[in-house]
Amino acid sequence: MLNRRMFAFVASLAVLLPASAMAQESDGKLDGEGKEIVVLMPSRSNAYLAQWIRGAEQSAEEANYKLTVIENNFDQTEQDAQAQQRISSPTKPAAYVWWPADNQAGLATLRRLSRTGVPVFQANQAVRPEAEDMVVAYAGVDDYFNGQIAGENALAAREAFVKNGHELSGEGGNLVVLKFIPGYSAGEDREAGFLDATKDAPFNVIATEYAGFDNASGYKAMSQLIPIIRSQGIDFVYGMSDGPVTGAVQALEEVGMKPGEDVYLFSATCIADISAAESAKEFATGVQSAGLEGWFAINVVARYFEYGETVKEGTYIAPDDADARPVFDFAPSKKNIIPNPQVVVGTDPATAADKLASFKLWGESFQDHCVY
C-alpha cells in the first residue's frame, strides 16, 4: 500500500511540474531514435536552398532523425498539393518543417498541417501574425534584420563614395533596389529593414525591380534598367543577396561603368558566388549561411523534443561566435534566429581577399559559409 501511495504521489508531481522544469532534467544529448522530420520547401535548384538542405541533413544525422524533404518549384499551388498528399499518408512524422513558397498564400495549408496534431515549425520565412498559433516555433533568418544590415552597408558605402571624391547624383545618392520575386516575403522584409536603417539619412531610390535570387536574374533586371535610368546617374545598387549583385556587376561593366569605382554595390547576404566581393566590385555584404541555417532549423526541432516539448517565449538570436559553434543545451524559443554578421570589403581589390580571409563564424571561414 505504501509503495502504491508513493508511486501516486510521484506521478502527481510529474503532472503538476511545468514542462520547463521537467525539461531541465534532460541530459542534452539529442536522439530522435530515427523518427521522421518532413520538410516542405521550395526547390534545391536554388543554390542557397541546396546548401540549406545539406546543413539540415547534417543536423538530422547528428540528432538521429530521418529527414524527408519535399520540394516545389517556388509554386504555392504545387506545395499545397504536396502537403495534402503527405497529410493523407497513413504514417505521421514527428514534426513538419514548413518553408512556404508564398507566405501569405500558403496560410490555408499551414492551417491544415497544424490541425494534424503533428508539431509544425516554420523555417526561413517569418511567421505571419495570423499564423502564430499554427506554428510551434520559428527557426531561421530574420530578414528584417538582414535588411538593416544592408542599410548599414549602404550608409558605409555612401560615406566611402563621398570620401573618395564622388559627387552624389541626387539627394542622398541615387539608388537602385534589386528585389527577390513577387510574393516572397523575405524580399518585403529586407526592403522594410533597409528603409528603417536608412530613414534618418535616406537614399534617392530611382528604380526598384524584381530580380530573383541569382546572377542571371540580376543581370537581366539591371540590363533592362540601365537604359532607362542611366541619364539620372546611378550611384548605388542594393541587391537583396549577392546573386543579383554579381549579375548587376556584369550588366554595369558591359555599358562601361565601373563597379567599385563609379558605382558602389552592396547586399544583405552572401550566396554562392563571392567573386564580386573578392574583387571589391561589391562594397559590402552579410554572412547569412545557408548550411548553418539548415543545421539550426533541425537542431531547434530536435531540442524541442529533447527538452520535454518545451518552447520559451520570446526571441533567441544565436551568437556570432568566431571560433566555434555555440553549445545549444537548452530548449528553443518561440523565435530562433541565426546570426548575419556584416562584412565590409571596401573598394581596394588588393586588400579584399585578405579581409574575407580574416572572417570567421562558428569556426568556419567566409568561403565555408558563402561558397557552394
- Tell me the C-alpha distance between 90 and 371, whole Å: 40
Angle, alpha carbons 24-25-26 (nearest 5°)? 90
Residue with cell 523555417: 123
Q: What is the pLDDT of residue 28?
A: 63
- Tell me the C-alpha distance between 150 and 319, whole Å: 19
User: What is the torsion angle, in degrees rounded to the nearest 10, for the CA atoms of residue 142, residue 148, residue 152 and residue 158?
Assistant: 130
What residues does 104 pair with on adjacent strands?
Answer: none
DSSP secondary structure code for residue 263 in this structure: B
Angle, alpha carbons 318-322-326 (nearest 5°)? 40
Residue-level length of the chain: 372
Domain boundaries, the chain: 23-141+290-337, 144-287+341-370
Kindly state the cell numbers that stand for 191: 526592403
Residue 37 phi, psi (nearest 5): -115, 125
* Topology given in CATH for the domain delimited by 144-287+341-370: Rossmann fold (3.40.50)
Residue 266 near residue 105 (C-beta atoms within 8 A): no
Of the candidates 325, 286, 331, the residue with the CA atom closest to the CA atom of residue 306: 331
SS3 for 238? strand
Q: What is the pLDDT of residue 269?
A: 94
* Topology given in CATH for the domain delimited by 23-141+290-337: Rossmann fold (3.40.50)
Provide the residue-wise pLDDT of the chain in tens; the chain has 372 residues: 334 333 333 333 333 333 333 334 555 689 999 999 999 999 999 888 999 999 999 999 999 999 999 999 999 999 999 999 999 999 999 999 999 999 999 999 999 999 999 999 999 999 999 999 999 999 999 999 999 999 999 999 999 999 999 999 999 999 999 999 998 888 999 999 999 999 999 999 999 999 988 999 999 999 999 999 999 999 999 999 999 999 999 999 999 999 999 999 999 999 888 999 999 999 999 999 999 999 999 999 999 999 999 999 999 999 999 999 999 999 999 999 999 999 999 999 999 999 999 999 999 999 999 998
* Orientation angle between helical segments 76-87 and 107-114, nearest 10 degrees: 10
Tell me the CA distances in angstroms from 75 to 80, 101, 183, 255, 346, one per residue in order: 9, 6, 11, 35, 38
- Beta pairing, strands 174-179 & 204-210: parallel
Helix intervals (H) in the chain: 2-16, 19-23, 47-63, 76-87, 107-114, 143-163, 185-197, 215-229, 242-254, 275-278, 290-306, 349-357, 366-370
Of the candidates 324, 326, 275, the residue with the CA atom closest to the CA atom of residue 296: 326
SS3 for 146? helix
Q: What does 325-371 look like in DSSP terms, one character per residue?
A: PPP--S--EEEEE----EEE--S-HHHHHHHHHT-EETTEEHHHHH-
